[in-house]
Amino acid sequence: MDYPGNIFVVAAPSGAGKSSLVKALMELDSAVQPSVSHTTRPPRGQEKHGREYFFTSDGEFDAMVSGEAFVEWAHVHGCRYGTSKKAIEDRVAQGADVVLEIDFQGAIQIRKTFANAVLIFILPPSWEELRSRLERRGEDRPDVIELRLRNAATEMARAGEFDFVIINELFERALFDLKAIVHAQRLRYSAQRRARADTFAALNIP
């Protein structure tokens, strides 16, 4: 599917820092809007329904799956997460840039529907640092942290399928890289549109 807005997909193992980076990007760049996912995971910390996620029951999630309300969904760390069509299609059709913070399974599904989506993978600088970020964040039980670290190896093995990989060691450096990717995609996209318009004009195609 081809839309005037850009779709950026940011994936990473839990704790690598993708939410922090995406939040910082959106504070600097109001043209990038978030896609708010649905999840069956219970809220943690200060999370609010409709802001970080739409927190749904298993039954509600099932109904959305059978009603084909999702553009992608997946089982992640023992819960279900999904991007609704509503969360992205209207916005990108109106020309907005939308950022999806989803896992690698969702990223691959998004690429199949939106061939122009830009897939970005965030890596931590080391295993020790990944563990210590999850522990310092202090929002998950120890068994949940262990599960997320076990899943991280499978997730990181898929990094090569993404368009860009950013190592989030120094936060400001990683944010600079993320901004550069967004900026480059906008330039690339507007250059493609200009070239298409010039070709149409040269061929007298209305």
Ligand X SMILES: Nc1nc2c(ncn2[C@@H]2O[C@H](COP(=O)(O)O)[C@@H](O)[C@H]2O)c(=O)[nH]1
Residues that bind ligand X (CB under 6 A): 14, 37, 41, 72, 74, 76-77, 81-83, 101-103, 105-106
Q: Could you say which of 44, 136, 188, 194 contacts ligand ATP (CB under 6 A)?
A: 136
Q: What is the DSSP string of 34-55?
A: EPPEEESSPP-TT--BTTTEEE
Measured between alpha carbons, how far is 150 from 8 in angstroms, rounded to an integer?
26
35: DSSP letter: P
Least CB distance from residue 101 to ligand X, whole Å?
Answer: 5
Ligand-binding annotation for 197, yes or no, is no
Ligand-binding annotation for 12, yes or no, is yes
Element (H, E) at 122: strand 118-123
20: DSSP letter: H
Under the binding rule (CB under 6 A), the answer on residue 80 touching ligand ATP is no
Q: What burial letters (b/e) apply to 64-94, b meaning 16+ CB within 10 Å?
A: beeeebbbbbbebeeebbbbbeebbbebbee
Under the binding rule (CB under 6 A), the answer on residue 179 touching ligand ATP is no
Under the binding rule (CB under 6 A), the answer on residue 116 touching ligand ATP is no
CB closer to ligand X out of 3 and 70: 70
Interaction residues for ligand ATP, span 145-174 (CB under 6 A): 168, 171
Ligand-binding annotation for 18, yes or no, is yes
CB closer to ligand ATP out of 97 and 177: 177
Using alpha carbons, list the distances in angstroms from residue 17 to 36, 59, 71, 110. Answer: 17, 31, 24, 21
CB closer to ligand X out of 126 and 154: 154
Number of H helices, E strands in the chain: 7, 9
CB closer to ligand X out of 24 and 189: 24
Binding residues (CB under 6 A) for ligand ATP: these are 12, 14-20, 133, 136-137, 168, 171
Which residues are known binding-site members for ATP? 12-19
